[in-house]
A and B are shown apart, each in its own frame.
Chain A
Amino acid sequence: MSYKFTQQSNSARSVILQKLKKQVEGADYDKLPAETGFTYPEISFEDQFTHFVQLLRNNQAKVISTSETELMDQVISELKARDISSLLYGADSPYSQLIEQGINQSGEQVELQDYDYQLTDNKDKLFNHTPASITSSNWAIAETGTIVRWPSQNEPRTMSLVPPVHMIIVDANKLYCNFSSLVKDQNWKDNMPTNALLISGPSKTADIQQTLAFGAHGPKELIVFVMNSPTDINL
């Protein structure tokens, strides 16, 4: 191509930056006004947790209290209820052994698929032959009913995006009060991953006449399994 956009971009860069710099040259950053955030009232961990579950449920996520011993029975029964016989998981991920054992011991005809391929060459498989997935999560946020995932090599980001049913395991001990405290406490700024995801329900849209519909592009259903739940949520 004859068009040299790189050169063009470089000259645009210097023009834009020059224009901007001319206006704010010599601005004294120390004189910027103090910024104060709102001080939220302290709430107990139990209340935070209840709020977290409530918001997820308001957003049509199914939330189930679980433990290492119960998890796979619950997963299998959710699959059976939907007539799903194949589950995408990530080998060598936090709960992978539990998942493998659970499926093997159950005697159920559930095919366990590992995300052991490059997406580029396997899009049809992921989009059209993967009805459900299960992943771990890193943290959760009470204030907004949010689950936080740092996708990894073993549990890539499209696992929680493409399959119509996404199951996700949350450890209640990793619940933060709000996003702000999570970012600070885990020092995100010094180790941002390729991709960080905040998930607060199944995919949805209200683009047609403000009517809520689920499963716009991503999962139609989000099933959340909570480990170490501090309160009884299985109502």
Chain B
Amino acid sequence: MSVNQYTPDRTESKYTKSASTFRQNVQRDLANEELRSNFAGAMDYLMDKRKASFPSNDELETLRDQCKLIKQRALVKLPHLLEQLETKLNENGIKVHWAETINDANEIIAQLIESKGGKNIVKGKSMVSEETALNDFLQARDMEILESDMGEYIVQLANEHPSHIIMPAIHQNKKQVADIFAEHIDDFEYTTDVDTLIGEGRRILRDKFSKADVGITGVNFAVAETGTLCLVENEGNGQMSSAVPDMHIAITGIEKVVEYLDDIPPLLSLLTRSATGQAITTYFNMISKPRQPGEKDGPEEVHLVLLDNGRSQAFADEELRQTLQCIRCGACMNHCPVYTRVGGHAYGTVYPGPIGKIISPHQLGLESTKDLPTASSLCGACGEVCPVKIPIPNILLRLRKESVKDTKGGEGELKGAGSNRKATEAAIWKAWSLLHRVPAMYKVSMWFATRFRGLMPSKLGAWTSVRTAPKLAPKTLHERVKARRK
């Protein structure tokens, strides 16, 4: 295993990519009105589209149950299915590589590219490659890699990170995109017309596709039974990246494997409808083999990189394992009142929103993600829409518990468990607990509280910056019930 974890350096970027500055990020982004209106508009749009695509609640709930069980079955059999996938892919002529860390994954990809003498690398949309910060890694080795999903391309031009897992440039409006194009593309004739902007992107990217020798993509589902890699997309960049260059490298997390081909149709249906409200995306691309003798296109070599990066930690606990059911539809963020307001960059993690809050601690540790599990009102909107029924609020509660646990984070503990336990806070909850389980003590203190309510501060720190302080009643309910009985 390589010793040094590669740390991406994007000092040039506006957005520091760190969850440990969550609070500052939130302040910065809440104050940005244009950003907030971009997100609010986009989330409303996506929520409406999703809703319209599920006219029958009965169908929706049956599908959710079914897909939850499909994913749970795949997880119970995960090691076995990964082996089966590997065997099948090998039979089909696709090579499989395993990586425990992001650094290992990047190293594998860099070596593969070098083995091919790759010069022009194009990448279709892949969040796992964001997770590994592949672009930075390859650029540090003087390899040029171009994002080809329109949203990712915009984000790359602006030297930013995706702010949403499905729509990477959702934080920019068309005027901002036009500004980015004007800054980075020679001879760009300024316009905010979306068709023209996309046309411009098309022109540049098609030229790159026609010259690319290596294509990199993610994977939405990997089918163990047949050794098939499935890609879901609207634009065609995934196909361009997987069909035109002579080498195709797919990278994905170990949790993406499903058992049967028959598992795919219900998952696909829920994925696209939950994500963008589409019955299906424009393209669904199923890749099972490299170019065969007699075939005229497609890659000569296909590789799959399977990444762990903390997933096996989530796997080790039955409750937290449910996190791995995720099919990355983005519905939880679209419906999250926190995400809608702070946007995707504030989280400082690759995966933002509710799914980011529950997966990032396994990747980065609870210490550097300490503000994420608490940054939720536990309203439950995420769990309600999640197509595979991940009980996100319960998992957040669990992570809160792990985070403040009295432990030094030993064997079998989550990375960073107990790192946010503060002696004062723990003492307060101990005292609180004592007070609330000894009725006599509780009543006496409530009696005092209400009697001396004039002494209660009218400023309660954060609470009263936008609200008045609640006023204690002259007499408690306990007392009034008693008085009433007399």
Contact = CB atoms under 8 A, between A and B. Distances in A.
A37 interface: yes
A35 B70 contact: yes
B243 interface: yes
B198 A213 contact: yes
A69 B329 CA distance: 45
B65 to A, nearest CB: 7
B243 A11 contact: no
A24 B266 CA distance: 25
Given A1-B114, A158-B244, A215-B198, A19 B225 contact: no
A98 interface: no
A216 interface: yes
B442 interface: no
Given A127-B209, A201-B282, A161 B99 contact: no
Interface stretch (A79-87, A101-109, A140-148): A140-148
Interface in A177-224: 178-180, 183-184, 188-189, 192-211, 213, 215-219
Interface string B162-182: 000001111011100100000
Given A55-B279, A207-B167, A218 B235 contact: yes
A211 B151 CA distance: 12
Nearest to B56: A38
Contact of B234 (A120, A204, A209): A204
A74 interface: no
B100 A15 contact: yes
Residue of A15, A36, A194 with most chain B CB atoms under a 10 A cut-off:
A194
A216 B291 contact: no
Contacts of B58: 38
A70 B306 CA distance: 50
Interface stretch (B256-264, B400-408, B460-468): B256-264
A130 to B, nearest CB: 11
A205 B76 contact: no
Contacts of B79: 17, 20-21, 24
B237 A200 contact: no
A55 to B, nearest CB: 6
Given A12-B104, A127-B209, A207-B151, A199 B312 contact: no
A8 B99 CA distance: 8
Contacts of B308: 12, 16
B12 interface: no
B197 to A, nearest CB: 6
B237 A216 contact: yes
Interface in A127-154: 127-128, 143-146, 153
A234 interface: no
A40 B59 CA distance: 8
Contacts of B62: 36-38
Interface in B292-326: 292, 294-298, 306, 308, 312, 315-316, 321
Interface stretch (A26-34, A42-50, A167-175, A225-233): A26-34
A156 B239 CA distance: 12
B98 A156 contact: no
B356 to A, nearest CB: 20
A144 B284 CA distance: 12
Contacts of A32: 69, 72-73, 76
B296 A119 contact: yes
Interface in B176-228: 177, 194-195, 197-199, 201-202, 205-207, 209-211, 225-228
B237 A1 contact: no
Contact of A218 (B99, B111, B236, B280): B236
Residue of B41, B268, B284 with most chain A CB atoms under a 10 A cut-off:
B284
Given A179-B265, A205-B235, A161 B243 contact: yes
A213 B107 contact: no
Contacts of B41: 209-210
A12 B2 CA distance: 11
Interface residues of B, number: 107
B207 to A, nearest CB: 8
A59 B59 CA distance: 23
B284 A198 contact: yes
B289 interface: yes
A11 B1 contact: yes
Given A5-B97, A35-B69, A38-B59, A216 B198 contact: yes
B288 interface: yes
B315 A157 contact: no
A195 B76 contact: no
Contact of B243 (A8, A158, A192): A158
Given A5-B107, A19-B312, 9 more contacts: A3-B107, A3-B111, A8-B1, A24-B79, A35-B69, A119-B296, A180-B266, A198-B284, A209-B42
Interface of B: 1-2, 38, 41-42, 45-46, 58-59, 62-63, 65-66, 69-70, 72-73, 76-79, 82-83, 97-100, 104, 107-108, 111, 114-115, 148-151, 154, 167-170, 172-174, 177, 194-195, 197-199, 201-202, 205-207, 209-211, 225-228, 234-237, 239-240, 243-244, 246, 254, 260-262, 264-266, 268-269, 276, 279-292, 294-298, 306, 308, 312, 315-316, 321
Interface of A: 1, 3, 5-6, 8-13, 15-17, 19-24, 27, 29, 32-33, 35-38, 40, 55, 59, 115, 117-120, 123-124, 126-128, 143-146, 153, 156-158, 161-162, 178-180, 183-184, 188-189, 192-211, 213, 215-219
5 contacts: A13-B98, A16-B312, A127-B206, A161-B243, A197-B284
Q: Which 8 A-B pairs have the closest CB atoms?
A: A218-B236, A207-B151, A216-B235, A198-B284, A144-B280, A119-B297, A213-B198, A20-B79
